[in-house]
Amino acid sequence: MTKGMVCAPQPEAVEAGVLALSKGGNAVDAAIACALVQTVVDPQMCGIAGFGSMQLFGPEDQKGHLFIDFHGRAPLAATETMWAEEIVRETEDGFGFILKRHVNDIGYRSITTPGTLMAFGEALQRYGTLSLKEVLEPAIEYCEKGFVVRPRVSGYWNLVESAGRLAHSERLRRDPATRKIYLKSDGSLFEPGERLINKDMGQTYRRIANEGIDSFYTGKLAKEIDADMKANGALLAYADLASYQTEHQTPLWGEYRGYRIATNRLPGGGTMVLEMLNILEHFDLRELGHNTPGYIATVAEAMKIATVDKDERMGDPRFVEVPMDELLSADYAHMQSDKIKRGEKTHVPRYLHGADNKNTTHVCTVDEHGACVSMTHSLGNPSGVVTEGLGFMYNGCMNVFDPRPGRVDSIAPGKSRFTAMSPTMVFKAEKPYLLIGAPGGTFITMGVLQGILNVIDFDMDAQHAVSAPRFCVTSDVIDLTNRIPHYVEAELNTLGYPTRRSHFSFGFAGVHAIRITDRGWDGGADPGLDGMALATP
């Protein structure tokens, strides 16, 4: 047995990770076993036809420290102007566009080239000690014996989006192969406490265990996927799958109050996290007081500055030139902090306003040998498409590309769009101290930021850090969870800040974390989701 801890939003997935450790696996084995179960028991938050970003750290004798970035890529058939005349509005938080007939949001043309399964295989090959078959076993069991629908899963299925976004149930009803899995015989959705069985997905996972991951990209599975895509007018084709490659990168490093911060590179959201920390280091946040009006206003301005920079200057560095040296420089942070101190309010432009959608999940793991993983993976807005007989749903990430030509996130063949995913590790004296990440669309960076501030500036343990009331700013409005007092909101309004109160007590990303101290590990699972942190017995 290997001692360790796993933290994620799904208890079944956490348990699978801990069982991988109990079989002698390491933190990477645990992370992949956990993630594969996530694809079964939270099948619209993530999947093997999804995308993500994974940070892996091992002591020097365990092959070092790297990111495997597996972002979805626009298929080769995509063009910059294909949807330029279809725009209805941009979402208020910048998480995508609503187009006429929802052509980018649901169906075969919404699918980008997926990287999740390839990344899982590469992580196991480089760092793992268990076989692909072994880590797939728990996921297969949940496919074949079924999983009990949790409140958060049911809540997602029944959510009706505002301002023109499709009701989520449409992603389960429109495609015949999807309906067969997710609707009961009377045409209704499964309810909390009911058991959903997906034998087609289980059979696909058995094929992957026997045929290998290459089957999905160049083998028999790839050919079946290609045939379905061709028959339904998809952008995705065999050539996209066969040419897909993940990116192995060194972490993007920063510093905050003497701690070293390791996060992901663009098109991931780590640059935003470091930019905000650089700005906020110029303020005594502890003196301001946690979640006081002054604190919220200060952090909100840093959030707005980073959001504007993301919208206008950050994208896939293979396609756009990003001024990284400037954005992360001490001079730039000093200039932006001075603006905040002068009382200047940053404006966040939006091209019309609409709804947002955030379908993602996260996992953190650590083991007794010092290996650590922080990984965020997703389907974006799930496409609603399932190939008959294969059981898994494809991502729908084309909806987040900017359909306007000439922008940093405009569509281009092979391009990845910006994602706020930012699986992060904080180092203290050259050793991992905090593993953190979150699902939540453009709210991810804001949740990760507040989790880091809560640990470093306010000495919170992991559970308190992810449970503390959060706020979020991705436009000119400060969004507040319902546990932030009304009197604090009133003073923010007096300071000239428009606010919007959520009816949820927990919200704005689902932050998960593990803190590593001299006394051991403490984990924190966001109380707004269904998950937990669990250590080996």
Residue type, 78: A
Residue type, 136: L
Spatial contact of 194 and 202, defined as CB atoms under 8 Å apart? no
Q: Residue 428, SS3?
A: strand
**Amino acid 61: pLDDT:** 58
- Strand stretches in 335-459, DSSP E: 360-367, 372-378, 424-428, 431-437
**Amino acid 190: pLDDT:** 96
Residue type, 508: F
pLDDT in tens, 388-423: 999 999 999 998 899 999 999 899 999 999 999 999
Supply the pTM of this predicted model. Answer: 0.95
**Amino acid 104: pLDDT:** 85
Active-site residues, by number, are 360
d(CA 469, CA 458): 13
The residues near 504 (Cβ < 8 Å, ≥ 6 apart) are: 481, 482, 528
d(CA 492, CA 495): 5
Q: What domains does the chain contain, in order, with CATH numbers?
A: 4-85+105-148+196-248+359-398 (no CATH), 252-354+421-522 (1.10.246.130)
Residue type, 466: V
Q: What is the pLDDT along the chain (537 residues), one digit of tens a residue?
A: 999 999 999 999 999 999 999 999 999 999 999 999 999 999 999 999 999 999 999 976 566 899 999 999 999 999 999 998 888 877 655 567 788 888 888 999 999 999 999 999 999 999 999 999 999 999 999 999 999 999 999 988 988 765 456 778 889 999 999 999 999 999 999 999 999 999 999 999 999 999 999 999 999 999 999 999 999 999 999 999 999 999 999 999 999 999 999 999 999 999 999 999 999 999 999 999 999 999 999 999 999 999 999 999 999 999 999 999 999 999 999 999 999 999 999 999 865 443 444 579 999 999 999 999 999 999 998 999 999 999 999 999 998 899 999 999 899 999 999 999 999 999 998 899 999 999 998 899 999 999 999 999 999 999 999 999 999 999 999 999 999 999 999 999 999 999 999 999 999 999 999 999 999 999 999 999 999 999 999
**Amino acid 323: pLDDT:** 97
**Amino acid 357: pLDDT:** 47
**Amino acid 359: pLDDT:** 74
61-66: long-range contacts at Cβ-Cβ below 8 A with a sequence spacing of 24 or more? 62/26, 62/127, 62/369, 62/370, 62/371, 63/126, 63/127, 65/250, 65/251, 65/262, 66/248, 66/249, 66/250, 66/251
Residue tagged 């997935």 (tokens)? 13
Count other Cβ atoms within 10 Å, centred on residue 220.
12
- In the sheet that holds 471-472, the strands lie side by side as 471-472, 478-480, 499-501
Apex 256 CA angle, 255 and 259, nearest 5: 75
- Pick the closest to residue 391 from 525, 241, 231, 199 (CA basis): 199
Q: Which pair of structure tokens corresponds to residue 307?
A: 């959001």
